[in-house]
Amino acid sequence: MLAPVILFVYNRPNHTKITLDALKKNTLAKDSILIIHCDGALLNKDLEYYENIEAVRQICDNIDGFRDIIIIKSDYNKGLVNSIIEGVTETLNKFEKVIVLEDDLITSPYFLEFMNEGLDVYQKHNNVYSINGYCFPLDNINEYISFLIPLIGTWGWGTWKDKWSILDIKISNKEYLINNQYIQKCFNFGKYEYSKMFTSNEKSWGIIWYYSVFLHHGLCLFPSKSLIQNVGFDKKGTNCGDYNPYYTKLSDKKITVLKEYQINLKYYSYVANFLSKDLYNQKYYNRIINKINKILK
């Protein structure tokens, strides 16, 4: 049986439509169950805000192209953290495995194939905790394969009931990580300081999931070419700005799921190198280059 797909939506009708249109083009869409969670509204917002929430729900009410469609509309605002944790947990209590998307993710037509194959291949392997559809924009990669590294993904991913059960919502004993430089170095990837997300004001279900997998020395599967493109960096998302250093082209081919059960050191190095770049300061460098190019034209 194919894994059900959960889609979390809120108040971005254009993004929601783009995401659903791309998902419908997946080769396994017509055989998949789609569960859409529509978050509720906050109080004291302007008219456009409420109109957008209603527009999202109307788009969802008129979707087709899947084996079955279940739409769950919240009467109040749960927020992304609670929505995802509750929605994934409830679905896994019924289906044992799940694929998770948010409303700003464009999928390759081969996304569902890769995710379902990965979920089948690695289901019984205790050290593999999730299957991920997104891959960082790695340089000069010509392979269409999968690889395992000790890092989770949050843009188009899937897991199993028994693996999700390790989720430590309270982030128990995080002080050991915060106060121990060696553990911090292991937790951070490349020069990307994931550990700072514990002390910032940012609320992320992803850091809770990563911390939980880290404690269990877990690995996660990634494609060498991305099957996900994030289009949410336009200031309309709750947690996104307008600059996206993680932009990738979608894979134009199927990704081969390799049966490996240890870290792929080559791709570990590729990802670590990418996450060691000064990703956000590069934004200003690019603007200067663009201005120079316009002057020279």
The domain limits of the chain are 5-296
pLDDT, one tens digit for every residue, the chain (297 residues)? 999 999 999 999 999 999 999 999 999 999 999 999 999 999 999 999 999 999 999 999 999 999 999 999 999 999 999 999 999 999 999 999 999 999 999 999 999 999 999 999 999 999 999 999 999 999 889 999 999 999 999 999 999 999 999 999 999 888 888 899 999 999 999 888 998 887 765 568 999 999 999 999 999 999 999 999 999 875 554 444 455 788 999 999 999 999 999 999 999 999 999 999 865 454 444 443 344 344 333
pTM score of the predicted model: 0.90
User: How far is 243 from 247, CA to CA, in rounded Å?
Assistant: 9
Q: How far apart are CA 56 and CA 41, in angstroms?
A: 12
Confidence at residue 278, expressed as pLDDT on a 0 to 100 scale = 66
- Burial class of 288 by CB neighbour count within 10 A (0 to 12, 13 to 18, 19+): exposed
Topology of domain 5-296 in CATH is Spore Coat Polysaccharide Biosynthesis Protein SpsA; Chain A (3.90.550)
Distances (CA, A) of 121 to 101, 150, 256, 257: 21, 18, 12, 8
- Chain-centroid distance, C-alpha 230: 9
